[in-house]
Chains A and B, each alone.
Chain A
Amino acid sequence: MLFFDMMRDPASLVLCAIALAGCSGLPGLVLRDGTLGQRLASVAALLSSLLALPSLLYLLLGGGEASFLLNWNLPFGPCEVALDPLSVFFLIPIFLVFPAGSLYALGYWPAASHSSQRSVTFFYGLLACAMALVVVSRNGALFMMSWEIMALSGYFLLVAEHGESEVRGAGTVYLVASHLGGAALLFLFASLFMITGGFGFPAAGSLAVGAGLAGALFWLALAGFGSKAGLMPLHLWLPSAHANAPSHVSALLSGVMLKIGVYGILRVISFFPERPLWWGGVLTVAGLASAVMGICVASAQKDIKRLLAYSSIENLGIICAGIGMFLLGQGTGNQRLAFLGLAGALFHVLNHVIFKPLLFFCAGSVMHAAGTRDLDRMGGLARRLPYTAFFTLCGAVAICGLPPFNGFASEMLLYLGFFGEARAGQPFVALGAPVLALVGGVAVISFVKLYGIAFLGEPRTAEAAGAHEAAGTMLAPIAVLACLALTGGLFPQLFLALVQPAIRGLAPDLAHAAVLPIAPVWFALAGGSVICLAAILFLFLNAKTKGRTAAASTWGCGYLRPSPRIQYTGSSFGAFFSSLSGSLIRTRITVGQVAGLTPAAVRLSYHPEETLLHRVVLPVLNVLGIGCAFVRRLQHGEVQIYILYIFVTLMLLLLWVH
Chain B
Amino acid sequence: MIDTIFHVVLVLAMPPLLLGVIGKTKAAFAGRVGAPFLQPYYDMGRLMKKGIVLSDSTTWIFRAGPVVTLAATLFAALLVPLGKHPAPISFEGDMILFAYLFALGRFFTTTAALDTASSFEGMGAAREVSFSCLAEPTLFFALITLTRLSGTMSLTPMLQHVTLPVWMGTGASLILLLAGLFVVLLAENCRIPFDDPNTHLELTMIHEVMVLDHSGPYFCCVLYGAALKLYLLGALFVNIALPFASGNAYLDWVVFAAGMLLLAVAIGVVESVMARLRLIRVPQLLVAALILTAFSLVLVVR
User: Residues of A at under 8 Å CB distance from B?
Assistant: 379-380, 382-383, 389, 393, 396-397, 400-403, 408, 412, 415-416, 419-420, 422-423, 426-427, 430-431, 433-438, 440-442, 444-445, 447-448, 451-453, 456-458, 517-519, 522, 525-526, 529-531, 533-534, 537-538, 541-542, 544-545, 548-557, 564, 566-568, 572-577, 580
Contact = CB atoms under 8 A, between A and B. Distances in A.
A438 B125 contact: no
A345 B243 CA distance: 39
B139 to A, nearest CB: 7
A545 B297 contact: no
B144 A419 contact: yes
B117 A452 contact: no
Contacts of A526: 75, 97, 101
Contacts of B101: 403, 526, 530
Contact of B114 (A402, A522, A568): A568
B52 A448 contact: no
A441 B111 contact: no
A458 B122 CA distance: 12
B67 A537 contact: yes
Interface stretch (B29-37, B58-66, B247-255): B58-66
A533 to B, nearest CB: 4
Given A456-B115, A572-B122, A445 B57 contact: no
A458 to B, nearest CB: 4
B244 to A, nearest CB: 26
A556 B48 CA distance: 25
Given A451-B111, A553-B57, A438 B202 contact: no
A555 B147 contact: no
A437 B136 contact: yes
Contacts of A441: 103, 129, 132-134, 136-137
Contacts of A396: 107
A492 to B, nearest CB: 12
Interface in B115-173: 115-123, 125-127, 129-130, 132-134, 136-141, 143-145, 147-148, 151, 153
17 contacts: A379-B117, A419-B147, A426-B301, A437-B140, A441-B137, A517-B153, A525-B89, A526-B97, A530-B71, A534-B70, A534-B71, A545-B217, A548-B216, A555-B116, A555-B212, A568-B126, A577-B133
A519 B57 CA distance: 43
A522 B101 CA distance: 14
Contacts of B119: 566-568
Contacts of B216: 545, 548
Given A419-B143, A448-B125, A457-B114, 5 more contacts: A382-B59, A382-B115, A419-B144, A436-B140, A538-B67
Contacts of B56: 551-554
Contacts of A434: 137-138, 140-141, 144, 290
Contacts of B67: 534, 537-538, 541
Nearest to B117: A457
Q: Is the interface of B mostly helix, strand, loop or mixed?
A: helix
Contact of B147 (A400, A423, A531, A568): A423
Contacts of B50: 548
A424 to B, nearest CB: 9
B106 interface: yes
Given A530-B104, A533-B75, A577-B130, A452 B115 contact: yes
Nearest to B72: A530
B206 to A, nearest CB: 11
What is the predominant secondary structure among interface residues of chain A facing chain B?
helix
Contacts of B133: 438, 440-442, 444-445, 577
Nearest to B142: A434
Contacts of A389: 59
Given A457-B117, A551-B56, A568-B114, A423 B93 contact: no
B287 to A, nearest CB: 9
Contacts of B144: 419, 422, 427, 430-431, 433-434
A399 B127 CA distance: 21
Contacts of B80: none
B59 A444 contact: no
B300 to A, nearest CB: 9
Contacts of A548: 50-52, 216
Given A412-B96, A519-B91, A438 B110 contact: no
A433 B107 contact: no
B179 to A, nearest CB: 17
Nearest to A578: B130
Contacts of B58: 554
B53 interface: yes
A433 to B, nearest CB: 5
Contact of B92 (A416, A451, A574): A416
